[in-house]
Structure 1
Amino acid sequence: MKRRIRHFTPSWFSCTMGTGITSILLHELPYQFKGLKNVANVIFVFNIVLFLAILGMSCARYILYPSLWKAMIFHPSQSLFLGTFSMGFSTIVNMMVLSVSPAFGHRWVILAWVLWWINVVISVAISIGLPIVMFLYQKHTFADISGIWLLPVVSTIVTAASGGIVATILPPSHARLTVYVSYILWGTGFPLAFLLMALYFARLAIHKPPPAAQIVSSFLPLGPCGQGAFALLKLSSVLLDLSRTPDGLGVGSLSIEEGKVAALAIYACTIPVALVIWGLGLFWLVQAVGTIVHLAVKTTLPFNMGWWAFTFPLGVFATSTTALAKELNSPTFRVLGTILSCAVVALWLIVMGLTIWKAWIGTLFVAPCLAEVVPMKAEEEKRGRRGGEVSKV
């Protein structure tokens, strides 16, 4: 158990991302049938338990081995997975809004809003803090660029999308504040994600796709595209609803009627922008599928924690598809969203099954950041030799 705790990396929070988005997709599936929401709620409860278990293991790791925190933060790849903590947390907040608060009342609305604000602080710290660490303390090369570079900056985009969901159940004054903060969060994340996608495109053209062990990370650019489009659609929809309240948008320079016109204009402009972002996501989806199929024909793809990139990026792309279906009243997008959602559920079942099996036999517990610390293996061998000498004596 101590060995597993020592090798327990932040990448494990990607399990909660994939599990959380699966529960959301089932809860919001365009074509519902009896009992489906109950299945979504069961997965949601499982996700909470999973999140707390992973959080407990992570805390135990840094309590028992304090030096590993510094090693992880300064590691050029493992530190980037801190973004998965915030995104996994967002899925729990979203399901609290969609499922728990309508069933159990106002106290859960307040709890969801408080948790969202906590996640705002966490996501901003990760999105802004980790790039500073990258610039000052880590060593990178152009060939090292991969999809995981997107993880820190996407955390604020996911939190912004979560803010749009939370705002739908809040009083107008609280909803306005949440929406305005969410737009700022979107601004801190999506432009940077767009820059990183450009760098990743250049890296693929010059250095070709990543090795088989990292190839599933090709799906990660779907994340900012899916959540970026979904966040804009959700926030503009909430703005439109707020403009019809007695206080309007709460902008002092606009009258109530002018606020309605402004909100309608924002809503109308958001739909084509979301379609453009969705189209960019479609490019990355086709590219990722094509690359993985091409590599799978030539070699075996080893299972690792990176396989969770099959779930959350594709899942948020499915949420943006179903959101477009709703706003456009489009049967085509509705069918596409359902197909993508079913694909995510199937992938989640496969990846979760493999994760449980590999975790049971212990092969998933490997922490690359341990190479940055004083070699513990050598110390253990030394202690073992000393123990052997003592026993001989």
Structure 2
Amino acid sequence: MGTGIVSVLLQSIPFSSQALHYISIVFFVLNAALFSLAFVTSFLRYTLYPEIWKVMIQDPTNSLFLATIPMGFATLIEMWVFICVPYWGSWAISMAWALWIVDVIAAASVTLSLSFILISQRHITSLERITALQLLPIAATIVAAGAGAEVAHVLPNKTHAMSTLLVSFVLWGMGTPLAISVLVIYYQRLAVHKLPPREAIVSCFLPLGPLGFGGFGIIYIGKVARELFQDTDILDPIAGSMAYVLGVFISLLMWSFGLTWLVFAFATVLYSSPFPFNMGWWGFTFPLGVYAANTMELGKVLDLMFFKVFGTVLSGVVILLWALVASRTALGAWRGDLFYAPCLQNLSPSLKDSETEEERLRA
């Protein structure tokens, strides 16, 4: 997700140049390689050791990260639309549409199943245990909605484009109100139980994710609706323009709400620093990146230099954060002391003993 949003930002900067375009392609290829490696590794892990899947899906924290799969995949679809479609034409458009359908199924499944698991199990029994990670499964459909609007924009078949756009709006409606509801609960948790522990302090940036991509997605949905509704008898010809105008104002509202959480996040980081490095530091990149994308999109639509410059500055911050976190991750992976799965503590004793014996034999 972090690498993918960097490639999207490099492609979206309003002061873009040919150099940024080629750098975004490099990040696109790197992201495709990282996603493939992570997906294959995870598939083999849960295939060879199915017991791990059971304890992971029942863990109230680790299970939430399943939502990162369709969100990371959505960034690949976006870059496919930006880079491959203009060069490769019709078959690339069909490929983007097919990949997006797969992403929709995965995102909707994750949002509905993990949200139900969260409310049906009894792991979280107090407000203090609520974290911003609860936003992850909800944000999956919001990200899929934004990617769907971009796919609908390039589909030549008007019927397919209209269907894709309507599904995107449904996905946006599934996730955005629910995400705002969770933000209300999360704010109450912060007000009553104060800041999260230092190890999880980066999670304070996660509210920017659904707000940023939700604002970006609703603008794109309105933009495509304005084009599609002009040549159809659905509703009224003015419906497309209404959807576009409402999308801009809703996006501006979500951007403003996100600005509040952005200030909270930076203040929290400054107040709590220093804090230890862990994989949670990747939570800096994607939420701030999608907020920057929404900012730049508002700048293009409203033709306001403030949003263009502010979005570009935020994009630069995201790229620098990516470089910092990626280097620290590579160093921790080389040392072998970075990756840790707390849910494995819930494995059955027999499986733990077999893993311990295997590690002893390797030594």
TM-score range normalised by the length of the shorter chain: over 0.9
Identical columns (%): 41
Letter in structure 1 aligned against 2:103: N
Higher relative contact order (CA 8 A, sep 6+): 1
- How far 1:346 moved relative to its partner? 0.7
Tell me the equivalent position of 2:314: 340
Aligned pairs for 1:56-205 (under 5 A) are 56-140=40-124, 141-171=126-156, 172-205=158-191
Shift in alpha-carbon separation, 1:382–1:52, aligned structure 2, 3 A: closer
Tell me the equivalent position of 1:365: 339
For the pair 1:26 / 2:3, whether they are aligned, the reply is no
How far, CA to CA, are the matches of 1:190 and 1:59 in structure 2? 30
Give the count of matched residue pairs: 358
User: Which stretches of structure 1, 4 residues or more, deviate above 3 A after TM superposition?
Assistant: 375-385
- How far 1:273 moved relative to its partner? 1.5
Which stretch of the first structure deviates more once superposed, 197-206 or 29-38? 29-38
1:338-392 per-position Cα deviation (integer Å, ceiling 9, x unaligned): 101111111111111111111111112210111111245555557899x8xxxxx
How far, CA to CA, are the matches of 2:161 and 2:293 in structure 1? 21
1:281-305 per-position Cα deviation (integer Å, ceiling 9, x unaligned): 0000000100110010xxx311111
Letter in structure 2 aligned against 1:132: F
How far, CA to CA, are the matches of 2:22 and 2:131 in structure 1? 38
Unmatched tracts of structure 1, length 5 or more: 1-16, 388-393
How far, CA to CA, are the matches of 1:284 and 1:239 in structure 2? 30
How far, CA to CA, are the matches of 1:383 and 1:341 in structure 2? 45
1:52-85 per-position Cα deviation (integer Å, ceiling 9, x unaligned): 0001110111122110001000001000001100
Unmatched tracts of structure 2, length 5 or more: none
- Secondary structure of residue in 2 paired with 1:139: coil
Cα RMSD for the two superposed structures: 1.5
- Aligned residues of 1:237 and 1:267 also touching (Cα < 8 A): yes
Shift in alpha-carbon separation, 1:76–1:336, aligned structure 2, 3 A: same
How far, CA to CA, are the matches of 2:122 and 2:341 in structure 1? 17
- Secondary structure of residue in 1 paired with 2:18: coil
Bigger radius of gyration: 1
- Aligned residues of 2:279 and 2:339 also touching (Cα < 8 A): no
Tell me the equivalent position of 1:274: 251
For the pair 1:331 / 2:305, whether they are aligned, the reply is yes
Tell me the equivalent position of 1:313: 287
Tell me the equivalent position of 1:12: none
Shift in alpha-carbon separation, 1:263–1:72, aligned structure 2, 3 A: same
Letter in structure 1 aligned against 2:292: A
- Aligned residues of 1:30 and 1:322 also touching (Cα < 8 A): yes
How far, CA to CA, are the matches of 1:381 and 1:78 in structure 2? 22
Tell me the equivalent position of 1:14: none
How far, CA to CA, are the matches of 1:200 and 1:89 in structure 2? 27
Tell me the equivalent position of 2:323: 349
How far, CA to CA, are the matches of 1:231 and 1:178 in structure 2? 13
